[in-house]
Homo-oligomer: A and B are copies of this chain.
Amino acid sequence: MALIGASDRSAWSHLVHAGLTAGGFTGSVHYVNPRSPTAHGQPTVASLTHIGEPVDLAYVMVPQQGVLAVLDEAADAGIANAVVLTAGFAEAGSEGQSAQHELEELAAQRGLAVVGPNTLGFINVPRRVSLFPGAHMWPLVPGQVALASQSGALGGTLMGYFAAEHVGLSLLVSTGNEAVVTLSDVVDYLVDDEATDVIALFIEAIRKPADLLRVAERALAVGKPIVALKVGRSEISARTAAAHTGALVGDDRIVDAIFRQSGIIRVDSLEQLLTTAAVLAQTGPLRGRRLGVASISGGACDIIADRAQDEGIDLPPFTDATLAALGAVMPDYGTAHNPLDVTGAAVRDPKLFGQALTAIGNDSVVDVLLCQMAITVEQEPGVATESLASIATALRQAPVPAIFCPATGEGLAPEQRELATRLGIPFVGGGIDLVLSGLGKAMWWSDRYRQRAYTPKSTHVAAPVGAAVPDEGRGSWSEYRARRLLEANDVPIVPAILAQDAGEAAHAASRLGYPVALKVASPDLLHKSDIGGVRLDLRDESSVRAAFDDVIEAAQRVWPAPRIEGLLVSPMRSGGVELLTGVVRDPIWGHVLAVGLGGVWTEIFNDVTLRVLPVTAGDVEEMLGELRGAALLRGARGSAPADIGALVDVILRIAQLAHALAPDLESLEINPLRVDGSQIEALDALVTWKGAW
């Protein structure tokens, strides 16, 4: 390993060297400094080409102007990997951006894997490679959680936090500006890293969305959960992030959709990041949502029950066999329900708590076992220690995953950590609130993991639609043309006849049946109703004839004069529920499917859910379930319940059509899509193509 820019005069160099030394690295370290014969008490070499033995990694902390030359030299010396601490690149204005661009080109030309620039580096805990300034300030606790952070400072903070909460790490990486190695590359590596079971991410900006989706799918396939805190939801932090890293910031609702879709667990705080990762490191994939609990406090049981309900976690009643087993160990005044309050009797009887946990863990209705208790360190081992030992044994021997959590998030003192380790307690910190939230998220991920395990995603991917390719130009299409596209691709749409005069309209109306609607068909009039181009609920021939003339007249008053293809005559529909379904191209994420409840639901509640294309039938069904007004589809308000299978099929067709047209499509909107039992049809449609009119 080579430290380039190692110098007694640099605070950063001191911090890096102290971290490396404290980490116990056993390989050889070369200090590169052309201006000083020693650094940190070690002899230096003048340049990378003077080292005289193969070097695995160059850690670069020279001034910004010298970075490119050092990387060039590293390549000359046969070094394939570099970490660049130096700042002043893409995060620092346009000059820095071009410097970063040069760095990228150099790395590509010379085949260099570069982490950074503007990174703090990484720590490989089991291999004791601690290349992270200040790493000596935090203990290196080995474990199965890998942590990658786009913020270097927070990476260090989190390392301390994970150690304090007794969560071991396999790898810590600060990815900096991601000129070459991105967060997705790190995840890609971690999917295959045997030391890592859970991947925790702190994300400010997702630079290559498609890469993240791909590696997330790989992680899900092998059962390694990804837990991510993605910041930049607010307007202000979006601006801050742009200033800080120069990265584009997208629509946060799409980030939400992407994470959900690809099985990434999204968390809202650093504390949830830690606790959710810690829960999953202890439990692995869970087989279900049924939690069995024993606690030292009735008050804690109340909190657990409340929070379990919030998180959709079941607390099933115990079976009779379990109740009998609990009855044999519990004092009279304890009532054996789930969550179980072992009562103060456990203070006197050190075996009671462990016996109760064994009974609960063996209950067939329990998928995961939780013990809520404090780690009490005694001056000399007594009742409390004996009780903890029996708890630890019961949790370890339980046939289901088991965790131990204290009531609050106060953290562990060193002597508590030592005791937890010695007794083998499956400790998860953060307190009841965070642990229940972590369990809920772990259950969500486990559901997703099991679904993927049963039905490989590839069979679900929307196949391109054959007959769809349009040849009628670009720009925006009239409803009339959009209708034809939908019809050709088996998307059901309300019947319509194009009429060129009042007589044709009246004839069409009598064929379709009264009442009818009239709508002007013109590629130039996208907001038809605004200009008087729509007339509804026409009940007889004379109304249709009069309305025809009115609409034509209204359309002709528009300036510049629109092209008018005629008037569409359609039967009126009533009843049912109106959805909006649309695919719109997002500049960052590509084509995004939106499904929502129409009208007031969209306007007031913004009751819309998103997914990035392609989507599966399972995705669409999940989207419908996410709508806050989902009860309307289940037949609230006295209407017939929607045929969800048929509805999913129609929405999937729309998504597939849009996906097949993706290279040219700007947007494809069906609004409303009317659903009345199994009767599903588009009432209006709008298609816009990329590029100018």
Total A residues in contact with B, Cβ cutoff 8 Å: 86
A208 at the interface (CB under 8 A from B): no
Residues of B with C-beta under 8 A to A374 = 157, 160
**CB 8 Å contact bits of A596-637 with B (1 = contact, 0 = none):** 000010011100000000000000000000001101100011
* Bound complex: CA A232 to CA B157 (Å): 36
Residues of B with C-beta under 8 A to A303 = 229, 231, 237, 269-270
A150: nearest residue on chain B (CB-CB)? Answer: B299
How many copies of this chain does one complex carry? 2
Residues of B with C-beta under 8 A to A631 = 603-604
Interfacial residues of chain A within 620-659, with CB under 8 A of chain B in the complex: 628-629, 631-632, 636-637
Cβ of A244 and Cβ of B306 under 8 Å apart?
A: no
Interfacial residues of chain A within 457-482, with CB under 8 A of chain B in the complex: none
Give the Cβ gap from A307 to chain B, nearest Cβ, in Å: 8
A500 at the interface (CB under 8 A from B): no
Question: Beyond A239-B337, A432-B269, is A234–B306 a contact (Cβ under 8 Å)?
Answer: yes
* Bound complex: CA A205 to CA B466 (Å): 65
A229: nearest residue on chain B (CB-CB)? Answer: B303
Cβ of A299 and Cβ of B234 under 8 Å apart?
A: no
A554 at the interface (CB under 8 A from B): no
Residues of B with C-beta under 8 A to A305 = 231, 234, 236-237, 240
Cβ of B153 and Cβ of A299 under 8 Å apart?
A: yes
Cβ of A409 and Cβ of B407 under 8 Å apart?
A: no
Cβ of B632 and Cβ of A408 under 8 Å apart?
A: no
Q: Which of B151, B333, B339 contacts A299 (CB 8 A)?
A: B151
Question: Beyond A157-B374, A269-B431, A629-B604, is A240–B302 a contact (Cβ under 8 Å)?
Answer: yes
* Bound complex: CA A637 to CA B602 (Å): 11
Residues of B with C-beta under 8 A to A320 = none
Cβ of A433 and Cβ of B603 under 8 Å apart?
A: no
* Bound complex: CA A337 to CA B269 (Å): 22
Interfacial residues of chain A within 192-225, with CB under 8 A of chain B in the complex: 202, 204
Q: Which of B164, B298, B307 contacts A244 (CB 8 A)?
A: B298
Cβ of A240 and Cβ of B306 under 8 Å apart?
A: no
Give the Cβ gap from A276 to chain B, nearest Cβ, in Å: 13
* Bound complex: CA A235 to CA B305 (Å): 8
A11: nearest residue on chain B (CB-CB)? Answer: B348
Cβ of A339 and Cβ of B409 under 8 Å apart?
A: no
Give the Cβ gap from A641 to chain B, nearest Cβ, in Å: 14
* Bound complex: CA A236 to CA B269 (Å): 28
Residues of B with C-beta under 8 A to A430 = 409
A628: nearest residue on chain B (CB-CB)? Answer: B605
**CB 8 Å contact bits of A309-347 with B (1 = contact, 0 = none):** 100000100000000000000000101011101001001
Residues of B with C-beta under 8 A to A137 = 376
Give the Cβ gap from A606 to chain B, nearest Cβ, in Å: 10
Cβ of B299 and Cβ of A231 under 8 Å apart?
A: yes
Residues of B with C-beta under 8 A to A92 = 333
A165 at the interface (CB under 8 A from B): yes
A147 at the interface (CB under 8 A from B): no
The 7 closest A-B pairs by CB, nearest first: A151-B299, A237-B305, A269-B433, A411-B411, A153-B297, A231-B302, A234-B309
Q: With A204-B298, A241-B302, A270-B433 given, can you name 15 additional A-B contacts, CB distance below 8 Å?
A: A11-B348, A92-B333, A150-B299, A232-B306, A236-B305, A236-B315, A237-B302, A237-B305, A240-B301, A240-B302, A269-B432, A409-B411, A413-B413, A603-B637, A604-B637
- Can you name 8 A-B residue pairings with CB atoms under 8 Å? A92-B333, A202-B299, A231-B303, A236-B338, A236-B339, A270-B409, A271-B409, A271-B431
